[in-house]
Amino acid sequence: MEIPVYLVTGFLESGKTAFVKETLSDPEFNGSEKTLLIVFEEGIEEYEEDFLSDNRVTKVEVEEPEELTEEFLNDCHKKYKPDRVMIEYNGVWKLETLFNAALPKEWALVQIITTVDASTFEVHMSNMRSMLVEQLSNSDLIIFNRCNANTKKNALRRSIKVVNRKAQIMYESEDGNLDDLEEDDMPFDMNASVIKIEDDDYGLWYMDALDNPTKYNRRIVQFKGMVYKGEKFPKDCFVPGRFAVTCCADDMQFVGFICMGKEAKRLNQKDWIKLTAEVRSEYHPGYDKEGPVLYVKKIEYTEPPIEPLVYFN
């Protein structure tokens, strides 16, 4: 029988301990199983002895990365014989340190959860981007806590989705309850006959159309994009888009949608254009699934945006 392992990561004071305690206190999760809790850093909030004993939790502390070895983990398995394992990881240690340690053969990593303080997210993305992106890109569940009326949920969401499309995202208010804040309004007029996407809003529109293709079905959009033409593309096909920074300047990806039109024949690689196109939500072999496909209405050559790169934060 496999022993489930839950990995909780995030920076110091991001709410990891509070999340673990709430989870282990939940009778729907904890049915008196023996839990081995491996803690890699201690924050302000602590695990009280009464809490540990009441919930059948054995806590083991690890202070240095060098202690995290395959031998250590196997010893934990033999000594404590847990029914499940929860790991509260140190947010500044590389996850590969844990992954390389090799879990005991009886253990199965079933979920990676990252807790994020919404109020400091932008600061951490600016100053510790590579470390934070490593956590986010590996996560199954991302919890933004300490949300309030000023929290830009759309901005947080698109920052996550560009590095991890599959992650589930949850928002918690400052009092710890689920956040019912409405999504931010889009910065472009969804009721206009032509939805004009400003240069700074391309990333927001791209993520919204990617997640909600039917929302834009049969709508006309206009935006600036760079032309990309693959070697195997049909002559009437190209992708207008932008390069997006996902981690650092050396880690970029081109983001755009397939576009169809006879005008594609006259376009050159890396041309900058202003495209007016109809969006249709349909299957295309380039996606191998249904997605937004653009159909050219008008193409004008143009200068690149002042900031040609897209930043998702």
Domain count for the chain, please give it: 2
pLDDT at 178: 67
Segment 126-141 mean pLDDT: 91
Domain match, 21 and 105 both: yes
Domain match, 25 and 162 both: yes
Residue 56 in domain:
yes
pLDDT, averaged across the chain: 90
pLDDT band (50, 70, 90) for residue 57: very high
Buried b (16+ CB within 10 A) or exposed e, 219-241: bbbbbbbbbbbeeeeeeebbbbb
Bridge partners of 196?
Answer: 222
Condensed to tens digits (0 to 9), the pLDDT of residues 193-244 reads 999 999 988 988 998 899 889 999 999 999 999 999 998 899 999 999 999 8
DSSP state for residue 62 in the 8-state scheme: -
pLDDT at 188: 86
pLDDT at 255: 94
CA distances from 50 to 53, 54, 56 (A): 5, 6, 10
Q: What is the CATH number of the domain that holds 77?
A: 3.40.50.300
Domain match, 34 and 65 both: yes
Residue 10, pLDDT above cutoff 70: yes
Domain span at residue 207 reads: 194-311
Bridge partners of 274?
Answer: 224, 300
pTM score of the predicted model: 0.66
pLDDT band (50, 70, 90) for residue 181: very low
pLDDT at 23: 93
Condensed to tens digits (0 to 9), the pLDDT of residues 69-85 reads 999 999 999 999 999 99
Residue 103 in domain:
yes
Residue 16, pLDDT above cutoff 50: yes
Q: Could you tell me which of 308, 305, 229 has the C-alpha nearest to residue 267?
A: 229
Residue 239 CA to residue 256 CA, distance in Å, equals 6
Residue 102 CA to residue 9 CA, distance in Å, equals 18
pLDDT at 249: 54
Domain match, 12 and 104 both: yes
Segment 282-307 mean pLDDT: 94
Residue 182, pLDDT above cutoff 50: no
Which residues does 15 contact at the CB level (< 8 Å), separation at least 6?
115, 117, 143, 145, 146
